[in-house]
Chains A and B, each alone.
Chain A
Amino acid sequence: MAAHLKKRVYEEFTKVVQQQQEEIATKKLRLTKPSKSAALHIDLCKATSPADALQYLLQFARKPVEAESVEGVVRILLEHYYKENDPSVRLKIASLLGLLSKTAGFSPDCIMDDAINILQNEKSHQVLAQLLDTLLAIGTKLPDNQAIQMRLVDVACKHLTDTSHGVRNKCLQLLGNLGSLEKSVTKDAEGLAVRDVQKIIGDYFSDQDPRVRTAAIKAMLQLHERGLKLYQTIYTQACKLLSDDYEQVRSAAVQLIWVVSQLYPESIVPIPSSNEEIRLVDDAFGKICHMVSDGSWVVRVQASKLLGSMEQVSSHFLEQTLDKKLMSDLRRKRTAHERAKELYTSGEFSSGRKWGDDAPKEEVDTGAVNLIESGACGAFVHGLEDEMYEVRIAAVEALCMLAQSSPSFAEKCLDFLVDMFNDEIEEVRLQSIHTMRKISNNITLREDQLDTVLAVLEDSSRDIREALHELLCCTNVSTKEGIHLALVELLKNLTKYPTDRDSIWKCLKFLGSRHPTLVLPLVPELLSTHPFFDTAEPDMDDPAYIAVLVLIFNAAKTCPTMPALFSDHTFRHYAYLRDSLSHLVPALRLPGRKLVSSALSPNIMPHEDPSHQFLQQSLERVYSLQHLDPQGTQELLEFTIRDLQRLGELQSELAGVADFSATYLRCQLLLIKIMEETYKMEFMYSGVENKQVVIIHHMRLQAKALQLIVTARTARGVDPLFGMCEKFLQEVDFFQRCFIADLPHLQDSFVDKLLDLMPRLMTSKPAEVVKILHTMLRQSTFLHLPLPEQIHKASATIIEPAGESDNPLRFTSGLVVALDVDATLEHVQDPQSTVKVQVSYPDGQAQMIHPKPADFRNPGPGRHRLITQVYLSHTAWTEPCQVEVRLLLAYNSSSRIPKSPWIEGGEMSSQVETSIEGTIPFSKSVKVYIMPKPARR
């Protein structure tokens, strides 16, 4: 039984790989297949019934057609179209025509005449709609041909009066996509009657069919997207559509209104039933706000989303969105938010004990109360209270965007955001915490607000807590009580969820460095020092104590008076922490003590940095070398590499540059290992530009040449050499095509010379080729590696499993055990497809596991977090042993290369991207003690 289970486990792992292989195989087949147009013709002639013909067509549609044979196929299809009586077959043919005209490298203008021709004789509405769709495909394929576009627009206008909504839909779509942009251009083209596309489309805003109305609005939006300036008159038309009966019409109309409001923000529109006038953007804002309480949630989502991007709206209107005049029995009442604020300013805490606490005060003038505001009143209040969480999320996002552009609004919306921390859906809570973080530069939290924020620290969801820590990192707190409160809550959190340790320490680091003056008065209390008595020395390993110290030390960095308050053991602890947790504890200028890293001074600007100069100098020294041969050069290189590496360790901001350069130098030295190293360079760093890629590839080419020489020297016989030579020459050719633009930068380099000799190489025998290569390699010079602007090394740290446990993980052999893996990834591009987990067993077996895309979280730019489960399984062992877990970065060299025209067919390149060529380990491996026990019988 156990064996069977084990087999199943392995089957599951291997399945994935097999499938990929199959896909590749089918792709190859397809490429070599000849054109099928002739076969299609025979098939269609054979077909006896419409159903048969349809089957053949369907089969045919599954295979792609090469650009050269498209025209032939189209002719055959058209021929059958004329003969065919069954509308469904005609429909399929029409759709095939559309598909074929999209084929790359085929110019569809030749079939347009036919398509228009058959359009005129067609009776079936469905086929008509499909034909118009085909015409649309043709039209979009030929965006520069004015005459054709005019003709197509004419055809569309003619069919606009069709009774079927489908045909009208397609006509409008065609108009939207092809309607001419500039009148002046159309006038001289052919002298056809100039049609005002906007006017025509606008007429269909009042069509009887809601689908056509929607299509008309969408066509209008399409015109806008294509760069046509919409008329302002559309605004009033669109406003009428806001009260349409159908949700899709309203939803599209909201979009249209938004577009117009962005085009003419400053125009003045009259308010109906009064003499006043307001700016158009304000009016539109009011109207969209009104749609936030629409009956359909689709419209509500749309409206809430768009509100966020209306930044030109005046602040008066903006602030109304959070305003809801409360009343009770016609008397004005204050909102809970207002009350909280008042209590805070009056210095009292909420008693809440009285029943009449929220008793209404002033009488409200009945005439002045406006229950349905046409304006923006309370739009966000409604949006945030909506039943559907999609609407709430959209509203939170909109709040975020508006608050980022308006500090006063940010201040006002704070209360509402804080309220959202209590939402029933975790996603909404998370979103609102993130939003708060984004606007935190504009705001300062009041104590009562901080209190509510901190209450969320007890949430059982890890994501929420970590988001909140991030938020606390960048919030401004107004009082020292606030800091104290935050610290106490964070420590509470630490005891409840010890796994949050790192995140909490980091949070306190920023909290301390942001509020040094607020921390200062708290220091004696926090360190529990006493003016007269020595207190007991706290335990150095207590995470809570470390947390407190992190806060204090970071505050002390900018507050020179603080160290005076430290007791002796605090200084000792400082020295320890500065060493063990250097990323959390900054260098302090302590009285009577040397600075830990005296070379660094925070005041020096980075580009004047001596270390940077040093880096430049050492690199220049190396680049002045001409050849690889002299012995002294190699030594110099080795020294430089060592220097650079040390520099990288010391200076985290230069680590990327230094490490990158060092790796390059090492490549020069170690041409044997070059293949591996070049791949590393290419895929482990983000921010590498094309210039660098060229050099990396050049390096690889050199290495391959070297390889060839080595093989030539050692291998016997010429046969294997032929193959290798040919392959090498192909590579050179490939290189030339890929980087043709960059070749001028590579003067005097290996490849430059190689390309000069290319014609000779092509005809030479392998032995000769090897000889030439040999001399060329000797002659080739160093290439200067331009330093990229921004370069980051991809790295990963496995946080969990920690690899310290002595207790083996016991499980029954043949069954699986789930191992929680928690790792942070830095600067990994597209981790979902590139990061893999490798588990190697003591018997040499290694497994590669692809984590689910959902296991990756993205807490900040350039940072990812992998929290996944890895399933382990093995046959029984006699004693516990360690398995190694590490993270791999999968790469594929062809995915980096810019897409080029000779890679035919879009599908193929996408295929290539998903396959894996090799992997680079990029994290330290962690050992996990496991013990598969034999199953009990």
Chain B
Amino acid sequence: MPEIRVTPLGAGQDVGRSCILVSIAGKNVMLDCGMHMGFSDDRRFPDFSYITRSGRLTDFLDCVIISHFHLDHCGALPYFSEMVGYDGPIYMTQPTQAICPILLEDYRKIAVDKKGEANFFTSQMIKDCMKKVVAVHLHQTVQVDDELEIKAYYAGHVLGAAMFQIKVGSESVVYTGDYNMTPDRHLGAAWIDKCRPNLLITESTYATTIRDSKRCRERDFLKKVHETVERGGKVLIPVFALGRAQELCILLETFWERMDLKAPIYFSTGLTEKANHYYKLFIPWTNQKIRKTFVQRNMFEFKHIKAFDRAFADSPGPMVVFATPGMLHAGQSLQIFRKWAGNEKNMVIMPGYCVQGTVGHKILSGQRKLEMEGRQVLEVKMQVEYMSFSAHADAKGIMQLVGQAEPENVLLVHGEAKKMEFLKQKIEQEFRVSCYMPANGETVTLPTSPSIPVGISLGLLKREMAQGLLPDAKKPRLLHGTLIMKDSNFRLVSSEQALKELGLAEHQLRFTCRVHLHDTRKEQETAVRVYSHLKSVLKDHCVQHLPDGSVTVESILIQAAAHSEDPGTKVLLVSWTYQDEELGSYLTSLLKKGLPQAS
């Protein structure tokens, strides 16, 4: 029995280090290769030794697919390919290919230079690893080998995020990666066609959340920024370099444009600048508005947003600053925060989640006096706002995608077990498909019944089509032909052609049957009665009375003879070929009922 096996090495009932192994029709594919943010020991990377204890990974895996550039989806890639050793192809979209090495390098710097870790991958390894990458376009079908093909769909989570369909023959699996079903200011919504895969592997970060409309949040955000700037205050927005930062930039930029505001907006330099450059280049991956207007003006060519310089923080007057990192735990954003915290005219807006222990978390939970290093106490007078801009699909969005793709089975990853349980129950209830949620290292096996393609000769098909009158999807139709199996390839041809091809002579197979009729008249008269009876019953068949006294219905021959012993009984000899079996047996049963009494 053919089957699909799925084993999450990471992200099974968990968020972080996404890595899922899929075996489909003898092909092994690894989906994502991420790291875990919560750990800094061996647990941060997936356990690749699970794949194969001995022997090289390249021999075992047919390909690796990376869905997008977030580190929890691609962070372990250099480790996997260079240190563990994998030389096969790695597939990702072009924006991912462009931005991924920047983030990996940044990650390496923090791990090695700041934390001083040894035995970590090097810059050279990142470069070598990226050489193994093959870029794919949206909706492009890539043949990995003769049988395995993959295809990318738009996922909308971050720039270049994609969902992948993996297909071998008629069996297929769709892996969503992270995706977003509500469009935002710079990206569109995820979309997939009705591809009806055997299995849909979907993320479930917000399995138990239904979100409010995005517009309210945007409006609130803009209103708060606008009010503060009008008061002459300064606004600090701590962000991570990629993703939300660009969305908020576009939001503010268009607002500034619309409202004709003059206050400057700054963007902290470094990583973000580089990333902005890529956003400018990958316009086809953005939303409708940006795609339509970029000929006049590229939305990422910000008019009002300039690069930040440390000296600007002290300059008077209102301004808006985007600074990294997003949780106010270190770096530029913290420096600016300390400078501005004392003035109640200023404001800090936290656009995302903050981990416990960071300054961001403290001020969000209402703390007004912060202890900084060196026993200093910083009094926070500035306003603190929280605003959640998140780019994952909520429960409704996940259901919508499942509805769009119409899979036979669903498998949940990238979420918490308790929340998955709820969604699993919902999916099973609404769509009546089975749903799985394996933990890390647990294997799910799905039996499949792949359909086997059979070629049919055009002549045969046309001949059969011509016979039927109206199309009727509900009724199966009988078709006569010969199935030829040759070199694992199936063909359905007409029997004449099959005989010709195989060099066989045709054998005629005839059935004959005697029907006893009680009839005292002569044979000829009996034949005439049979003829008139059949003629009246079988209106749409050709019934003929031949001169030699026999009756034919199509190609079925009926002859009447006197019984050798009993002259009162006539024997009807019915003879038909194998092809006319249906009609022949019907005819005999009809004749066995006897003839109607002559009036």
**Interface flag for B543 (CB, 8 Å):** no
Residues B426 and A371 in contact, CB atoms below 8 Å apart: yes
**Which residue from chain A places its CB closest to the CB of B194 in the assembled complex?**
A245
Give the contacts of B217-268 with A (CB-CB under 8 A): 217-220, 222-224, 226, 254, 257-260
Q: How far is the CB of A392 from chain B (nearest CB, A)?
A: 10
- The 8 Å CB contact of B470, one of A161, A293, A335, A378, is A161
Residues A424 and B289 in contact, CB atoms below 8 Å apart: yes
Complex Cα distance, B211 from A452, in Å, reads: 22
CB-CB under 8 A for A161 and B210, given A372-B403, A425-B289: no
* CB<8 Å pairs between A and B, sample of 9: A203-B471, A327-B210, A335-B212, A336-B213, A371-B210, A385-B213, A388-B288, A419-B213, A458-B258
CB neighbours (8 Å) of B220 from chain A are 336, 352
Residues B426 and A369 in contact, CB atoms below 8 Å apart: yes
CB neighbours (8 Å) of B192 from chain A are 295
CB-CB under 8 A for A324 and B257, given A335-B216, A355-B365: no
- The 8 Å CB contact of B399, one of A372, A384, A388, A416, is A372
CB neighbours (8 Å) of A924 from chain B are none
**Interface flag for A154 (CB, 8 Å):** no
Complex Cα distance, B487 from A674, in Å, reads: 96
CB neighbours (8 Å) of B259 from chain A are 458-460
Give the contacts of A294-311 with B (CB-CB under 8 A): 295
**Interface flag for A617 (CB, 8 Å):** no
- The 8 Å CB contact of A389, one of B289, B426, B472, is B289
A397-430 interface bits toward B, Cβ cutoff 8 Å, 1 = contact, 0 = none: 0000000000000000000100110111100000
**Interface flag for B215 (CB, 8 Å):** yes
Residues B188 and A387 in contact, CB atoms below 8 Å apart: yes
Q: How far is the CB of B411 from chain A (nearest CB, A)?
A: 18
Complex Cα distance, B293 from A389, in Å, reads: 13
**Which residue from chain B places its CB closest to the CB of A208 in the assembled complex?**
B471
Residues A355 and B366 in contact, CB atoms below 8 Å apart: yes
**Interface flag for A354 (CB, 8 Å):** yes
Complex Cα distance, B419 from A423, in Å, reads: 33
**Interface flag for B214 (CB, 8 Å):** yes
B179-212 interface bits toward A, Cβ cutoff 8 Å, 1 = contact, 0 = none: 0001101001101111000000000000011111
**Interface flag for A466 (CB, 8 Å):** no
Q: How far is the CB of A48 from chain B (nearest CB, A)?
A: 35
Residues A459 and B194 in contact, CB atoms below 8 Å apart: no
Residues A354 and B213 in contact, CB atoms below 8 Å apart: no
Residues A420 and B462 in contact, CB atoms below 8 Å apart: no
A578-611 interface bits toward B, Cβ cutoff 8 Å, 1 = contact, 0 = none: 0000000000000000000000000000000000
**Interface flag for A353 (CB, 8 Å):** yes
Residues B222 and A422 in contact, CB atoms below 8 Å apart: yes
CB-CB under 8 A for A352 and B224, given A295-B193, A327-B208: yes
Complex Cα distance, B209 from A327, in Å, reads: 5
Complex Cα distance, B52 from A131, in Å, reads: 67
**Interface flag for B377 (CB, 8 Å):** no
Residues B210 and A461 in contact, CB atoms below 8 Å apart: no
A352-379 interface bits toward B, Cβ cutoff 8 Å, 1 = contact, 0 = none: 1111010000000010010110000010
**Interface flag for B371 (CB, 8 Å):** no
Complex Cα distance, B288 from A355, in Å, reads: 33
Residues B419 and A329 in contact, CB atoms below 8 Å apart: yes
**Interface flag for B173 (CB, 8 Å):** no
Residues A384 and B384 in contact, CB atoms below 8 Å apart: no
CB-CB under 8 A for A326 and B260, given A293-B400, A371-B395: no
Complex Cα distance, B299 from A425, in Å, reads: 13
CB-CB under 8 A for A353 and B182, given A381-B213, A388-B288: no
Residues B212 and A326 in contact, CB atoms below 8 Å apart: yes
CB neighbours (8 Å) of A425 from chain B are 289
Residues B215 and A385 in contact, CB atoms below 8 Å apart: yes
Q: How far is the CB of A755 from chain B (nearest CB, A)?
A: 63
Residues A355 and B364 in contact, CB atoms below 8 Å apart: yes
In the A-B complex, the 3 residue pairs with the closest CB atoms:
A387-B183, A336-B216, A419-B215
**Interface flag for A455 (CB, 8 Å):** yes
Residues B383 and A353 in contact, CB atoms below 8 Å apart: yes
**Interface flag for B404 (CB, 8 Å):** yes
**Interface flag for A46 (CB, 8 Å):** no
B82-108 interface bits toward A, Cβ cutoff 8 Å, 1 = contact, 0 = none: 000000000000000000000000000
**Which residue from chain B places its CB closest to the CB of A327 in the assembled complex?**
B210
Complex Cα distance, B280 from A836, in Å, reads: 43
**Interface flag for B276 (CB, 8 Å):** no
Complex Cα distance, B222 from A423, in Å, reads: 12
Complex Cα distance, B469 from A419, in Å, reads: 56
Q: How far is the CB of B532 from chain A (nearest CB, A)?
A: 28
**Interface flag for A893 (CB, 8 Å):** no
CB neighbours (8 Å) of A161 from chain B are 469-470
CB neighbours (8 Å) of B399 from chain A are 371-372
Residues B208 and A330 in contact, CB atoms below 8 Å apart: yes
B490-511 interface bits toward A, Cβ cutoff 8 Å, 1 = contact, 0 = none: 0000000000000000000000
CB-CB under 8 A for A353 and B384, given A293-B400, A372-B430: yes
**Interface flag for A569 (CB, 8 Å):** no
CB-CB under 8 A for A336 and B217, given A388-B288, A455-B223: yes
B420-447 interface bits toward A, Cβ cutoff 8 Å, 1 = contact, 0 = none: 0010011000100000000000000000
Complex Cα distance, B222 from A452, in Å, reads: 11
Give the contacts of B357-416 with A (CB-CB under 8 A): 364-366, 383-386, 395-396, 399-400, 403-404
**Interface flag for B473 (CB, 8 Å):** yes
Q: How far is the CB of B313 from chain A (nearest CB, A)?
A: 23
CB neighbours (8 Å) of A354 from chain B are 366
- The 8 Å CB contact of A326, one of B210, B384, B386, B472, is B210
Q: How far is the CB of A248 from chain B (nearest CB, A)?
A: 14
A318-338 interface bits toward B, Cβ cutoff 8 Å, 1 = contact, 0 = none: 000000111111100101110
- The 8 Å CB contact of B183, one of A208, A327, A385, A416, is A385
CB neighbours (8 Å) of B224 from chain A are 352
CB-CB under 8 A for A329 and B209, given A385-B183, A386-B183, A422-B215: yes
Complex Cα distance, B208 from A293, in Å, reads: 20
Q: How far is the CB of A459 from chain B (nearest CB, A)?
A: 5
Give the contacts of B256-311 with A (CB-CB under 8 A): 257-260, 287-289
**Which residue from chain B places its CB closest to the CB of A336 in the assembled complex?**
B216
Q: How far is the CB of A678 from chain B (nearest CB, A)?
A: 49
**Interface flag for B465 (CB, 8 Å):** yes
Complex Cα distance, B215 from A425, in Å, reads: 13
Q: How far is the CB of B220 from chain A (nearest CB, A)?
A: 7
Q: How far is the CB of A439 from chain B (nearest CB, A)?
A: 19
- The 8 Å CB contact of B386, one of A207, A355, A416, A461, is A355
Q: How far is the CB of A495 from chain B (nearest CB, A)?
A: 12
CB neighbours (8 Å) of A911 from chain B are none
Complex Cα distance, B386 from A353, in Å, reads: 8
CB-CB under 8 A for A353 and B385, given A335-B212, A387-B288: yes
Residues B210 and A460 in contact, CB atoms below 8 Å apart: no
**Interface flag for A745 (CB, 8 Å):** no
**Which residue from chain B places its CB closest to the CB of A331 in the assembled complex?**
B208
Q: How far is the CB of B15 from chain A (nearest CB, A)?
A: 14
Residues A422 and B385 in contact, CB atoms below 8 Å apart: no
CB neighbours (8 Å) of B419 from chain A are 329-330
CB neighbours (8 Å) of B426 from chain A are 369, 371
Q: How far is the CB of A500 from chain B (nearest CB, A)?
A: 13
Q: How far is the CB of A859 from chain B (nearest CB, A)?
A: 20
Residues A163 and B462 in contact, CB atoms below 8 Å apart: yes
CB neighbours (8 Å) of B473 from chain A are 206, 208
Q: How far is the CB of B469 from chain A (nearest CB, A)?
A: 6
Residues A207 and B471 in contact, CB atoms below 8 Å apart: yes
CB-CB under 8 A for A326 and B211, given A353-B385, A387-B183, A460-B257: yes
**Which residue from chain B places its CB closest to the CB of A329 in the assembled complex?**
B208
B434-478 interface bits toward A, Cβ cutoff 8 Å, 1 = contact, 0 = none: 000000000000000000000000000010010001111100000
Complex Cα distance, B403 from A371, in Å, reads: 11
Complex Cα distance, B183 from A386, in Å, reads: 7
Residues A419 and B216 in contact, CB atoms below 8 Å apart: yes
Interface-central residue, B209, B212, B366, by most chain A CB under 10 Å? B212
